[in-house]
Structure 1
């Protein structure tokens, strides 16, 4: 069976700083029509950053959509036409005060394919260098830096302080590599 839905008409509903929203009328595989609300996103990166002491770098920040504070791996939105590797280094520097010249691509994945096209590119580095001068965060961004062992991070997963997919994936990835 061909599952493709053909777009008949697309209407922009909202153009924002982070996302755009559109309403698509589609023809379904059975010939009927339906509506799809779609969130358009430029993509994001996330970085699994491991210190020379085998600690993983996390940031703690408030997430308004959830009305709670989470602990996450460093991550951020890609700028227009910015390669993911550059975004990864920029976000690592802004959020943590560290930089690296050695990123390894781990994987990419869609965050919510039922309604959004956001893709996250996941990178890893264990070759960190502390910046002499910390980069400025976005003016509306406030984070606290944490360096945790994998065991400590797993405890935060159980306590739902780590409660997002990219960070949970990163922890499982490190475990699969044999990190303790």
Structure 2
């Protein structure tokens, strides 16, 4: 295939708790060699949690962009963990909530030019509070927020919601709402 690149050599430059960075030497379509930097990242899940026609969001500080943002609950999949179980665990850990109805919406790569992270988005409804909240990660400070449809779109416009998994989830919520309106 003309667009495929053959890896000639690769070396791990950095191994961290969250990511590994590799440098690849590849042979490109014309036979020449090129360098590629690839970040390896565990798979992740995100949860579009809807309660009383409001989206459940978490607000937390993101060091990479130096500001707190509103996001859907999300997190990494543990090795060997089922994606749905990971979504249920992350919703519980970050929000102290659970849900009766779950649906897998979609999976996508966040930035495949250099990163292999794949995130799977789930929709959850019929939300309820947990009697006993699971422990949160020691290094996370999370505030829970509930936004209606208009508030969510205003938060996007104001930059309070600025990550693609959350914007994607809100777009999916828009699609669900339109489908429900047409069905009425």
Separation in structure 2 between the aligned mates of residue 31 and residue 15 of structure 1, nearest angstrom: 30
Deviations 1:116-136 (A, max 9, x none): 000000000112121001111
By how many angstroms is 1:108 displaced?
0.4
Q: How does 1:68-87 map to 2 (within 5 A)?
A: 68-87=67-86
- Structure 1 moving runs of 4+ over 4 Å: none
TM-score (norm 2): 0.94
Alignment-derived partner of residue 65 in structure 1:
64
Alignment-derived partner of residue 120 in structure 2:
121
Q: How does 1:6-85 map to 2 (within 5 A)?
A: 6-51=6-51, 53-85=52-84
Deviations 1:117-161 (A, max 9, x none): 000000001121210011111111110000110111111000000
Q: Tell me, which stretches of 5 or more residues in structure 1 are unaligned? A: none
By how many angstroms is 1:49 displaced?
0.3
CA contact 2:14–2:22 (8 Å) conserved in 1 = yes
Alignment-derived partner of residue 153 in structure 1:
152
TM-score (norm 1): 0.96
2:137 corresponds to 1:138: yes
Separation in structure 2 between the aligned mates of residue 143 and residue 42 of structure 1, nearest angstrom: 22
Separation in structure 2 between the aligned mates of residue 26 and residue 101 of structure 1, nearest angstrom: 47
Separation in structure 1 between the aligned mates of residue 55 and residue 99 of structure 2, nearest angstrom: 14
* Structure number with higher strand proportion: 2
Separation in structure 2 between the aligned mates of residue 171 and residue 41 of structure 1, nearest angstrom: 24
Q: Tell me, which stretches of 5 or more residues in structure 2 are unaligned? A: none
Deviations 1:36-74 (A, max 9, x none): 0000011100000001x1111000000000001100000
By how many angstroms is 1:178 displaced?
2.0
Q: Number of residue pairs matched? A: 179
Separation in structure 2 between the aligned mates of residue 101 and residue 8 of structure 1, nearest angstrom: 49
By how many angstroms is 1:102 displaced?
2.6
* Structure number with higher helix proportion: 2
